[in-house]
Structure 1
Amino acid sequence: MDWDDLRIFLGVARSESLSGAGRRLAMDASTVGRRIARLEAAVGAVLFVKTPQGYRLTAEGERLLPAAEAAELAAVAAAEAVGREAGITGQLRIGAPDGCANYLLPQVARDLCAAHPGLEVQIVALPRVVNLTRREADMAIAVSPPETGRLVVQRLSDYRLHLAAHEDYLARHGEVRRDDLRRHRVIGYIPDMIFDRELDYLSETGVETAAISSNSVSVQMQAIRAGAGIGIVHDFAIPFAPGVRRVLANQISLKRSFWLVRHADDRNSRRLTLLSEAVAALLRAEVQRLESLAAADAAA
């Protein structure tokens, strides 16, 4: 039994599909299937059962999983030892909600790759919590600290949000007053697709429903930028939306936090520890830089 077979086994166990494992491992699904069949022949046991929900581990597969994960950790440690003097290389996959993924992580990835030319950064933007147990990412950024799972959690940075609208909308509809918000077209989240209580912004404004809604922060911002209405936006996103202005900033101001989350099994990985420290420092600096630009624009 070689490490490459175990690597493919872990890919199927975490993605619960041959095609999903193939995408992550850069091979076609039929090859993944043949390699799993070869591994099952080598161990003399069926490791997966195909269900309507995907490929699930059998009891024999569950017994193999800890050994495969231990082999993975050993392989990572060996790669770190070999590459320590040459800078950090390989792949880093970061999962994040789409506001962070769109407006902050591209700059973080730019600076990481500049510092470590051999590093490949993947940004996974998901409208839900990233599942580190299934290894959807190497680390995740969350808007509230997870309460379950074998995870290591680190507070990253506070950030602020305000009501905002495009200057064209404001020119058409006049002054915005808090006691008159209901007469405005409000933009926000689809209520039953809010995956974290920290994203329930509108409840803090007194407005109960949104006329235009999306599960994506970026779509909401584009609607606001198009002059479609008023919505809660991240201050760090405002510099990317010319013409969008904060409104009622002295009356409605929200504060939230980003958290960096890693799987507990990775706490001894020097490579991931160094990368998590770099991500944390770069993200804090970028939040501060963009919020400063938004504040300067509001004061102008």
Structure 2
Amino acid sequence: MNWDDLRIVAAVRDEGTYAGASARLRIDETTVGRRLARIERALGLRLFEAVDGVRRPTRQCEAVLAHIEAMAAHVADIGKVGESLAGLTGRFRIASTSAIAEELLAPRACRLLVPNPGLALHFLTSSENVKFSRWGADLAIRLRKPDKGDFTISKLAEIRLYLFEPAAAPDFEPAICSYPDDLDLTPESQFLKARGLQQRARCITDNVRIIKTLIQTHRAIGILPEHSCEELLSDRGLRATLLPRRRDVWLLVQNHLKRDPAARAVIDWVRDCFEEFSKA
């Protein structure tokens, strides 16, 4: 069944002639007759009878028309979907680390979602870089600038980093937290290495929350980004040292989204989430 063909059945019923249906639908009269014949063959039914020069629907046709009218109502409703949704529409996949999604994006997500019921955000969280292909993610927030790629890249912010140590001289050897070897080029790893701490690390993880949990015990040493440690900076049991280097944060956007109004709104929202750090 073809919806364009089924519309012809309703038009012939309403106009009473092939010519009338032809003028209403702006198609050739012979096309009207040919498509009706095709539907009749497919259904094994006779749809119209000629009575005094007018096409009258058969009993079987009336049953078919009841379904066609329901379909027409659904088609009309589909056309109104955009009118019923205020704001922009679209579903966007954002790849980032769990810490960024939980501490920066999620607390601010409703600023975007509430005024735009047609928008949906799909957070893809991983400590590893999600494959940024057209099928992997629409936007990605990276802590390392990619060397190359078919996408648009821009800097979001420069995040301050703090080294946390027990405030009082401990009578024990604090557990040193560090990143795995594949993150050796990060400012955190480079600082720990320069201080001779990287080699003595006994807690190896790429999960910021694990490092934070150990630091909170006042029995560990580790580095945290500023968005993860606000409450720790006022903890008198800890000594915080601002690192000389900051962690760059980069935004990657699929090129085909740059001119999409909904995508632009999501991009602007991501930038707003990092605004306080870009100005710090």
Same fold (TM over 0.5): yes
Structure 1 residue runs of 4 or more that deviate by more than 6 Å after TM superposition: none
What residue in structure 2 maps to residue 103 of structure 1? 103
Give the conservation status (yes or no) of the 8 Å contact 1:155–1:257: yes
SS of aligned partner of 1:145: coil
SS of aligned partner of 2:114: helix
CA distance 1:262–1:112, change in 2 (3 Å): same
Aligned amino acid, residue 173 of structure 1: P
CA distance 1:118–1:264, change in 2 (3 Å): closer
What residue in structure 1 maps to residue 154 of structure 2? 154
**1:217-252: per-residue Cα shift (whole Å, max 9, x none)?**
1211112123340101112211255738763626x4
2:191 is equivalent to residue 206 of structure 1: no
Q: Identify the match of residue 258 of structure 2 among 267, 292, 296.
A: 267
Aligned length: 198
What residue in structure 2 maps to residue 186 of structure 1? 176
Higher mean C-alpha displacement, 235-244 vs 143-152: 235-244
Separation in structure 2 between the aligned mates of residue 222 and residue 244 of structure 1, nearest angstrom: 16
Separation in structure 1 between the aligned mates of residue 256 and residue 237 of structure 2, nearest angstrom: 44
Aligned amino acid, residue 152 of structure 2: V
Give the conservation status (yes or no) of the 8 Å contact 2:167–2:236: no
The sequence identity of aligned pairs, in percent, is: 21
2:224 is equivalent to residue 233 of structure 1: yes
Structure 1, unpaired ranges of 5+: 1-78, 175-181, 292-300
- TM-score, with structure 1 as normaliser: 0.56
**1:1-23: per-residue Cα shift (whole Å, max 9, x none)?**
xxxxxxxxxxxxxxxxxxxxxxx
Separation in structure 1 between the aligned mates of residue 133 and residue 204 of structure 2, nearest angstrom: 31
What residue in structure 2 maps to residue 35 of structure 1? none
What residue in structure 2 maps to residue 126 of structure 1? 126
Separation in structure 1 between the aligned mates of residue 176 and residue 256 of structure 2, nearest angstrom: 44
The structure in which a higher percent of residues are helix is: 1
SS of aligned partner of 1:261: strand
Aligned alpha-carbon RMSD (Å): 3.3
What residue in structure 2 maps to residue 28 of structure 1? none
**1:85-124: per-residue Cα shift (whole Å, max 9, x none)?**
8212342221112332232111231322233244322222
Aligned amino acid, residue 229 of structure 1: A
Structure 2, unpaired ranges of 5+: 1-78
Instruction: Give the superposition deviation at 1:189.
Output: 1.2
Separation in structure 1 between the aligned mates of residue 215 and residue 271 of structure 2, nearest angstrom: 29
For residues 1-300 of structure 1, the aligned pairs below 5 Å read: 82=82, 86-165=86-165, 169-171=166-168, 173=170, 184-192=174-182, 194=183, 197=186, 200-201=189-190, 202-209=192-199, 210-239=201-230, 241=232, 243=235, 247=239, 249=241, 252-285=243-276, 287=277
Aligned amino acid, residue 205 of structure 2: S
Aligned amino acid, residue 197 of structure 2: V
What residue in structure 2 maps to residue 64 of structure 1? none
Give the conservation status (yes or no) of the 8 Å contact 1:127–1:195: no
What residue in structure 2 maps to residue 34 of structure 1? none
Separation in structure 2 between the aligned mates of residue 244 and residue 213 of structure 1, nearest angstrom: 26
Instruction: Give the superposition deviation at 1:282.
Output: 2.6
